Chains A and B, each alone.
Chain A
Amino acid sequence: MLDSLIIGAGPAGLAAAVASARQGLRVRVVDEFYQPGGRLLGQLHQEPDGTWWNGLAEAARLQQEAVEAGAEIRCGVSVFHVTRQDTSWIVSTSEGVMEASMLLIATGASETPVPIPGWTLPGVMSIGAAQVMTNVQRVRVGTRGVIIGINILSVAIARELLLAEVKVDRMILPAHSVISGDASHPVAVMQSMLRIAHLAPSPLIRMGSKWMKSTWMQRLGTALYPSRGFSMWGIPIQLRTAALAIIGVNQVEGVRIAHITPDGQPVSGTEQIIPADFVCIAGELSPLAELAAVAGCPFAYVPSLGGHIPIHNERMQTPLDGLYVAGNITGIESAKVALAQGTAAGMSMAFSHGSLRDPHVLSDSIKQIEIVRNNATLQFHPGIRAGRMQVGLMAAERSL
């Protein structure tokens, strides 16, 4: 029987495999994708010091380390059920039943779909789809596209499209709806963009962001915001334009847009159709936690972490015997934080297994998560620390 089965071969799962296999545990990692790496695979962005974060290379390095440490990685395996039986976890997969004394769920996150009229037309895709198609599968998603939804992820991927010579005509907001919420509100979007303005290539935008710290300045900024928008890497970012519908017969042919007020209301008489052969819709990310729910793990609803979070302590243990979580399933943060969490989860499983000779290695790996978080160039949400504290308290209440 396996000591540890890890679901998800992303940064958290692979790092956990490396850490626990090095401590002598029998480890297997399964992943639904045909290649290990998870969302690392598509990532490609420039750090403020000018170096490139190449997720593909990171994934290859982690995969090699995991295999060298003795972990087994199986791709193309879908997990559809997990249940605890006596002293082990029984995991039902597309490749048969697997059994392990400990189970780590590191399934990451998924994009929240934002429905827009016409979004079922071929040529409309999630922003993550465009990233994987461009950087992993190396096929251009079109010749002229519109990105609907302005957030950290979509701005980063817009630049990746540009690097691959895919033209992004502009980035705009989704029209206001129950589902789009703050994502269709220019002032709210500007507030969230200011958190990443220090990464902008233009000194003007960086400088501007310093002046815009107060809310009334932001409001004024959005009101005065030119309708043609500002541009990053030559891509117009239009906070005062919304997508009303995606147009086409057999595939995407264009997007019907309109100017919007600072509160997100369409201005009548400003509608027009812009041509496009592809459209990316960028929603927010939320933890992909179905398997933890199926296992019977209790949850906490923490909006700053992206939604429903399996309750866990700093050792990445859930209240269920032998069930661990790591990575974006515990809250939306960068791949580097996921990696550090994976290492801690791996050490934690080794500790429970009784094979960790020096317990300081575990406490150091937990401290390392906070160090990585503090050094992060961008924070996905300003309330991450408070959210994590809330989950930690709930774990403590359950005397974890």
Chain B
Amino acid sequence: MNARIMKHPILGERDPGKTMQFTFNGCAYSALEGETVAAALLASGIRTLRVHEEKGTPRGMYCNIGHCYECRVTINGIPTVRACMTLVEESMIVEAGTVLPTPLQKGGHHGCLIP
């Protein structure tokens, strides 16, 4: 089943507009004009937009209106951009968040401060 709702009984047909190409983690995807990064990826079956910075568990869009920041990604090199609030542009480069190093945590738990 196509995830895009091109025909709607009340809202009518969706004008596809122009199709744009963008990449997510190096893979090519296409988006219709007016789709956010989160919407275009969901239409291609991609739900995981990042992993938890410490635990590495998968995360995706939650509120879709910019409140929760769960969908934060890196776009054209700029980190912490909300995928749900950003419209896809031609040749956009989107990258998922990754696990970050936590060098201080180990010291905090097992270092000399705690005998």
Q: Which of A's residues lie within 8 Å of B, judged by CB?
A: 32-34, 44, 52, 54, 56, 76, 78, 110-111, 113, 120-126, 128-130, 132-135, 137-141, 143, 163-165, 250-251
| A129 pairs with B8, CB closer than 8 A | no
> Apart from A139-B5, A141-B42, A250-B48, what are 11 other A-B pairs with CB-CB below 8 Å?
A33-B65, A33-B85, A120-B59, A122-B49, A123-B60, A124-B62, A125-B63, A129-B63, A132-B65, A137-B34, A164-B8
Pick from B4, B5, B64, B85: contact of A125, CB under 8 Å: B64
| Residues of the A chain whose Cβ atoms lie less than 8 Å from the Cβ of B42 | 133, 139, 141
| B5 pairs with A33, CB closer than 8 A | no
In the bound assembly, the distance between CA atoms of A297 and B100 in angstroms comes to 39
Q: Which of B's residues lie within 8 Å of A, judged by CB?
A: 1, 3-6, 8-11, 14, 34-36, 38-39, 42-43, 47-49, 52, 57-68, 70, 84-87
| B47 pairs with A140, CB closer than 8 A | no
| B64 pairs with A121, CB closer than 8 A | no
- Distance (whole angstroms) from the CB of A167 to the closest CB of chain B: 10
| Residues of the B chain whose Cβ atoms lie less than 8 Å from the Cβ of A134 | 5
| Residues of the A chain whose Cβ atoms lie less than 8 Å from the Cβ of B84 | 129
| A34 pairs with B64, CB closer than 8 A | no
- Distance (whole angstroms) from the CB of A106 to the closest CB of chain B: 15
| A138 pairs with B6, CB closer than 8 A | yes
- Distance (whole angstroms) from the CB of B65 to the closest CB of chain A: 6
In the bound assembly, the distance between CA atoms of A220 and B36 in angstroms comes to 48
Question: Given A138-B6, A139-B4, A143-B1: A129 and B11 within 8 A (CB)?
Answer: no
CB-CB nearest in chain A for B46: A122
| Residues of the A chain whose Cβ atoms lie less than 8 Å from the Cβ of B67 | 110
- Distance (whole angstroms) from the CB of A178 to the closest CB of chain B: 20
Which 9 A-B pairs give the minimum distances between C-beta atoms? A122-B60, A129-B64, A122-B47, A137-B39, A138-B5, A139-B43, A140-B3, A122-B48, A139-B39
| A125 pairs with B62, CB closer than 8 A | yes
In the bound assembly, the distance between CA atoms of A7 and B84 in angstroms comes to 20
- Distance (whole angstroms) from the CB of B50 to the closest CB of chain A: 10
- Distance (whole angstroms) from the CB of A134 to the closest CB of chain B: 7
Question: Given A137-B35, A139-B39: A128 and B65 within 8 A (CB)?
Answer: yes
- Distance (whole angstroms) from the CB of A175 to the closest CB of chain B: 19
CB-CB nearest in chain A for B6: A138
| Residues of the B chain whose Cβ atoms lie less than 8 Å from the Cβ of A163 | 8-10
CB-CB nearest in chain A for B64: A129
| B3 pairs with A121, CB closer than 8 A | no
In the bound assembly, the distance between CA atoms of A19 and B22 in angstroms comes to 42
In the bound assembly, the distance between CA atoms of A54 and B12 in angstroms comes to 11
| A137 pairs with B62, CB closer than 8 A | no
Q: Which of A110, A113, A125 has the most CB of B within 10 A?
A: A125
| B85 pairs with A139, CB closer than 8 A | no
- Distance (whole angstroms) from the CB of A245 to the closest CB of chain B: 15
CB-CB nearest in chain A for B44: A139
| Residues of the B chain whose Cβ atoms lie less than 8 Å from the Cβ of A164 | 5, 8
- Distance (whole angstroms) from the CB of B107 to the closest CB of chain A: 27
| A120 pairs with B4, CB closer than 8 A | no
CB-CB nearest in chain B for A137: B39
- Distance (whole angstroms) from the CB of B68 to the closest CB of chain A: 8
| B3 pairs with A251, CB closer than 8 A | no
In the bound assembly, the distance between CA atoms of A251 and B60 in angstroms comes to 9
| B85 pairs with A126, CB closer than 8 A | no
| B9 pairs with A251, CB closer than 8 A | no
| Residues of the A chain whose Cβ atoms lie less than 8 Å from the Cβ of B9 | 163
| A138 pairs with B10, CB closer than 8 A | no
- Distance (whole angstroms) from the CB of B33 to the closest CB of chain A: 12
Question: Given A250-B58, A251-B47: A138 and B63 within 8 A (CB)?
Answer: no
Pick from B57, B61, B87: contact of A34, CB under 8 Å: B87
| Residues of the A chain whose Cβ atoms lie less than 8 Å from the Cβ of B86 | 34
In the bound assembly, the distance between CA atoms of A130 and B85 in angstroms comes to 14
- Distance (whole angstroms) from the CB of B4 to the closest CB of chain A: 6
CB-CB nearest in chain A for B70: A120
In the bound assembly, the distance between CA atoms of A293 and B3 in angstroms comes to 41
Pick from B14, B47, B62, B65: contact of A138, CB under 8 Å: B14
| B10 pairs with A52, CB closer than 8 A | yes
| A129 pairs with B65, CB closer than 8 A | yes
In the bound assembly, the distance between CA atoms of A140 and B57 in angstroms comes to 24
CB-CB nearest in chain A for B41: A139
| Residues of the A chain whose Cβ atoms lie less than 8 Å from the Cβ of B87 | 34
Q: Which of B34, B43, B67 has the most CB of A within 10 A?
A: B67
| B64 pairs with A133, CB closer than 8 A | yes
| A138 pairs with B57, CB closer than 8 A | no
| A121 pairs with B58, CB closer than 8 A | yes
